[in-house]
Amino acid sequence: MRILVTGATGFVGQAVVRELANAGHSVVGFARTPRTSPCELRTGDILDRAALEDVVKGADAVCHLAALTLVRKSFEQPVRYFEVNITGTLNLLDAMNAEAERAGRPLRLVYASTWAVYGAPKTQPITEAQQPMPSSPYGASKFAAETVIGYQAALGAVNAVTLRAFNVAGAADGQGDTDTSRIIPRVLLVAAGKVDQVNVNGDGSAVRDFVHVCDLARAYAAALEIPEPTGHRVYNVGSGAGISVRDVIATAQQVTGRPVPVHWGPPAREPRELLADISRIQADLGWRPTSSNLEMMITDAWLALTGAAR
When computed from its CA atoms, the radius of gyration of the chain, rounded to whole angstroms, is 19
239: left (phi over 0), alpha (psi -120 to 50) or beta: alpha
Q: How many C-beta neighbours within 10 Å does residue 40 have?
A: 12
Q: Are the C-beta atoms of 81 and 137 separated by less than 8 Å? A: yes
- Whether residue 118 lies in the annotated active site: no
Q: Which of 81, 111, 118, 138 is catalytic?
A: 138
Helix (H) or strand (E) holding 151: helix 137-154
Give every CB contact of residue 125 below 8 A, 6+ residues apart in sequence: 209, 240, 275, 276, 277
Written as one string, the DSSP assignment of 156-169 is TSEEEEEEEE-EEE
For the chain, report the end-to-end CA distance as a whole number of angstroms.
31
β-strand pairing of 107-114 with 26-31: unpaired
Q: Say if CB 36 and CB 8 are below 8 A apart.
A: no
Q: Which backbone phi and psi does 202 adopt, to 5 degrees?
A: 80, -150
Give the E-state strand segments of the chain in sequence order: 2-6, 26-31, 40-43, 61-64, 107-114, 158-165, 167-169, 171-172, 175-176, 198-201, 207-208, 210-212, 232-237, 243-244, 262-265, 273-274
Q: Taking a C-beta distance cutoff of 8 angstroms, is the pair 106, 158 a contact?
A: yes
What φ, ψ does residue 37 adopt, rounded to 5°?
A: -145, 150
Active site residues per annotation? 138
